[in-house]
Structures are given as C-alpha cells and as structure tokens.
Copies of this chain bind each other. A is one copy, B any other.
Amino acid sequence: MTTTDVQDLVEEANATALAQMFAADPVVVDVGRAGDLLPGFADDMVLTSGSPMGWREYTGGQREALIGGALFEGLADDRDSAIAGFDDGSIRVGSCHDHGAVGSLAGIYTASMPVFVVEDRTTGRRGFCNFYEGKEPRRLNYGCYDEDVRERLLHVNNVLAPVVGEAIRRSGGVPLKDLMAKALRMGDELHSRNAAASLLFTREILAALLDMTREGIDGVAETTVHIAENDYFFLRLSMAAAKVTADAASHVSHSTLVTAMAFSCRGFSIRVSGAGDTWFDGPPPVHQGKLFPGYTEDQITWMGGESPITETIGLGGFAQACALPLQGYQGGSADVMLQRNLDMYSITLGENPDYRIPVFDFRGTPTGIDVRKVLETGIMPVMDVGLAGSDGGQIGAGVIRAPRECFEKAMAALSAPEEHEA
C-alpha cells in the first residue's frame, strides 16, 4: 500500500472508532460483588491500577495497597503472610482493565467489594468501578490500610453499597450521559470535580430512597446524606461510564485513537484502538499541582491511577474549562485552564456531541486522542488528578501530562499492524 492508502485506512478506522465512542450510552443498572461480576476475576486475586506487572515490581504505596487489599479480604492474617502469599503466588495480582474495571489511584479490588455495573445500551458491554471510600485522606486506594480504613471499607460493603444498589434497581437504572452533560454545565469536569454530578445522581434515585426510608430499611437516611454530601462520590460512576465508552471504540484495526490511559508506581501506559488490549508503557507522568498545607513536592508519589479513563473520552482535563473552580483546589488560573483545554483540540479526532463547554459557546469537548496528533504537535494529554504522598493518603491535587514514550511505542507498533491484531 502507498503512504496515502495507509493514511486513508487510518482516517477511516479513526472515524469508525470515534463514532463508536460517541454512540456509547452508559446506564448504571446495578451494584454487585466484584467476585461475582468482574470477568475472569477470582477470590484469590487482588486487582490494581496500571498495565499488568509481576508482584515484585510493585513498590511503595501501590505495594502497600495490594497488601492492604489481601488483608481486608482475609487472604492473609497479617502483613508477612500476605507478602509470602504474593511471593508464592497463592495470592494473585491482576490488572483492573483486564477485568472490565477501572481503579481510582492504587485501584484495589478484592472479591467482596461492591462495584457499580454500568451498561452501554448501544453495545450491551459492561464496565465496573468500585465505591468511593469517603473524605478521610487515609484510604486503601491511597496506599493506606489500618483498622479505621478497614471499618470504612466494611461500612461501604455492608451499608452504603447495598442501599445504593437497591435504589438503582428500584429506579430502573440511571442513564448517565445526560446527567454528566448537565454536570458539565454545573462546574464539574467529572474527574477531579463531581460536586454537581453527585447531587444530580442523588436526585435521580431520590424517590426510591424516600420509598425505602418510609419502609424502614436500615441505613437509607445515612446513605442518602452520604451520597449528597460527598462531592467525589460520583467519580466512580464517571469512571465506569468512561470505561464502557472507551471500550466501545477499542479493537478497530489501524485506528490510532487512544482507548485507555493509566499508570502504576512504575510508569504511565496507554492502549490504542488498533492495537487492541496491548499496553504501551512509558515513564511516570509529569505533574504540576497544589499541595495541601504542610506537604512538599518531594513527598509526591505514584501509586497508580486509572481515572484518566475520563480524559480518554473527553472529560476531566479535556473538559477543564467547565470546572474553573478547580483552580482553587489544584492551582492555576482561569486563563491557564482555558488554554490547556483549548490545546486538547489539537490532539483529538473530534468534538463531543454530548459533552459540551459553556464558556466555549457549547463547543463539544475535545474527544478521541489521536496518537499521530500527539506526536506531531508534541502536546501531551492533560489529566486532572489527586496527588498521593509517600506515606500514603492524599496530599494535594493537580494536573499531569502523559509521557511521549507511550505514544512513540504505540505508533511504532501500529506501523507493524500484523503484530497487534485488533
């Protein structure tokens, strides 16, 4: 084939992939147990964020989080036994994306954990995400595990998740696309800011929650107030919705559209539609953030994160201009945020027909990151994230940039398509 032929092929593939991404229609239909629902998951597994690695490659907070997950699930009685279990393979480490899920920060999944089930009405495909642990900076997904963390996780398992699940089922599921589009008009970008979406979601299941309250079901009032008052509650729904939306665009031969971005303690990785489930790894992301009082730059640590699935579908950093109040949380000015968002149009394949930006006269968010455009322009995808500290816990928030290496490797691989059948 000539160069022009190849280009045409790629253009066509990208148009197909992008159309499939736009056609996705995520609806949260249920809450269930990870062990029962996640494809290929097993009771002896602990999932974590980033492209798959062997147990011994995990370090720092992400390693601690894996150990905490094993302890929480009762796969080991103490820290040493957990480490021994991982060492001898009786406790297995898995990668969230390989099981239809996405992990926030360290992104730990164990069998008993409840997950949101988000179904794409267009393809029938499902995506999963587990629950927000609450406002306390010490959380399992930030590499912390102790009795308090355990209590809060159990409370999610035994009180919050069953109530939310019942309310979702009674509501007949909650379509998320319109809700998320509305949240973008209310100051959210659906990654680091979900204040409106959490309230809008509460509203969608409010009638069911009130019925359940009247019936005297335990924990309903508490759960209702919890959802309404936790601005970050909705992130997990945004992530699961983004996962099914991105997956809808995956496995289109020759397409250079990015279908996942994630990182582990080792580095950043991307998946590209035309290369199917292959990960292209690079070094850790570059960051620019604002730390909570009392913390310093050298304490920032990488312990994983798959919430950039939101940027992958045109949210988060790609919708930052919707959420200018974030400048107070993660630093920067309105102009910097607007320009950053505008820059993303240079590296994307289209403008989202559903997710729109009021300050840009309702222009659709830049959607569908194109590996070619990233390499041509040198503009790296921007992501809004929470920052973890070396001793665990959240110590700030900011933006990160994907490293160029991932895109170079992906482009090289796509130029030899027979090696990466989509």
**Chain A residues with a Cβ under 8 A of chain B:** 185-187, 195-196, 199-200, 202-203, 206-207, 210-211, 213-214, 216, 220-221, 224-225, 228-229, 324-325, 327-328, 333-335, 358-362
10 smallest A-B Cβ distances: which pairs? A324-B358, A210-B221, A185-B325, A199-B199, A186-B187, A213-B213, A203-B228, A325-B358, A186-B186, A334-B359
Q: Within 8 Å CB of A224, what residues of B?
A: 206, 210
Q: Which residue of B lies closest to A223 (CB)?
A: B210
Q: Within 8 Å CB of A214, what residues of B?
A: 213-214, 216, 221
Docked Cα-Cα span, A199 to B362, in Å, equals 23
Q: B203 to A200, Cβ gap below 8 A? A: no
Docked Cα-Cα span, A96 to B232, in Å, equals 42
Subset of 27 A-B contacts with CB under 8 Å: A186-B186, A186-B187, A186-B196, A186-B325, A187-B187, A187-B196, A199-B199, A199-B200, A202-B228, A203-B228, A203-B229, A206-B224, A206-B225, A206-B228, A207-B225, A210-B210, A211-B221, A213-B214, A214-B214, A214-B221, A324-B358, A327-B358, A328-B362, A334-B359, A334-B361, A335-B361, A359-B359
- Report A170 CB to chain B, min CB distance, Å: 13
Q: Within 8 Å CB of A196, what residues of B?
A: 186-187, 196, 199
Q: Which residue of B lies closest to A325 (CB)?
A: B185
Docked Cα-Cα span, A210 to B202, in Å, equals 13
Q: Within 8 Å CB of A195, what residues of B?
A: 186
Q: B187 to A359, Cβ gap below 8 A? A: no
Q: Within 8 Å CB of A199, what residues of B?
A: 196, 199-200, 202-203
Q: A359 to B200, Cβ gap below 8 A? A: no
Q: Which residue of B lies closest to A229 (CB)?
A: B203
Majority SS at the chain A contact face: helix
Q: Within 8 Å CB of A228, what residues of B?
A: 202-203, 206
Docked Cα-Cα span, A196 to B214, in Å, equals 27
- Report A302 CB to chain B, min CB distance, Å: 29
Q: Which residue of B lies closest to A195 (CB)?
A: B186
Q: Within 8 Å CB of A359, what residues of B?
A: 324, 334, 359
Given contact pairs A199-B202, A206-B225, A213-B213, enumerate 14 new A-B contacts (beta carbons under 8 Å): A185-B325, A186-B195, A186-B325, A187-B187, A187-B196, A199-B200, A211-B221, A214-B221, A324-B358, A325-B358, A327-B358, A333-B361, A334-B358, A334-B360
Docked Cα-Cα span, A228 to B220, in Å, equals 18
- Report A230 CB to chain B, min CB distance, Å: 11
Given A196-B196, A327-B361, A327-B362, A185:B187 Cβ within 8 A: yes
Docked Cα-Cα span, A216 to B210, in Å, equals 11
- Report A334 CB to chain B, min CB distance, Å: 5
Docked Cα-Cα span, A324 to B184, in Å, equals 11
Q: Within 8 Å CB of A210, what residues of B?
A: 210, 213, 220-221, 224-225
- Report A336 CB to chain B, min CB distance, Å: 10
Docked Cα-Cα span, A335 to B338, in Å, equals 13
Q: Within 8 Å CB of A328, what residues of B?
A: 362
- Report A340 CB to chain B, min CB distance, Å: 14
Q: Within 8 Å CB of A200, what residues of B?
A: 199
Docked Cα-Cα span, A362 to B203, in Å, equals 29
Q: Within 8 Å CB of A187, what residues of B?
A: 185-187, 196, 358
- Report A33 CB to chain B, min CB distance, Å: 27
- Report A113 CB to chain B, min CB distance, Å: 27
- Report A397 CB to chain B, min CB distance, Å: 16
Docked Cα-Cα span, A203 to B335, in Å, equals 32
Q: Within 8 Å CB of A207, what residues of B?
A: 221, 225
- Report A403 CB to chain B, min CB distance, Å: 30
Docked Cα-Cα span, A211 to B195, in Å, equals 24
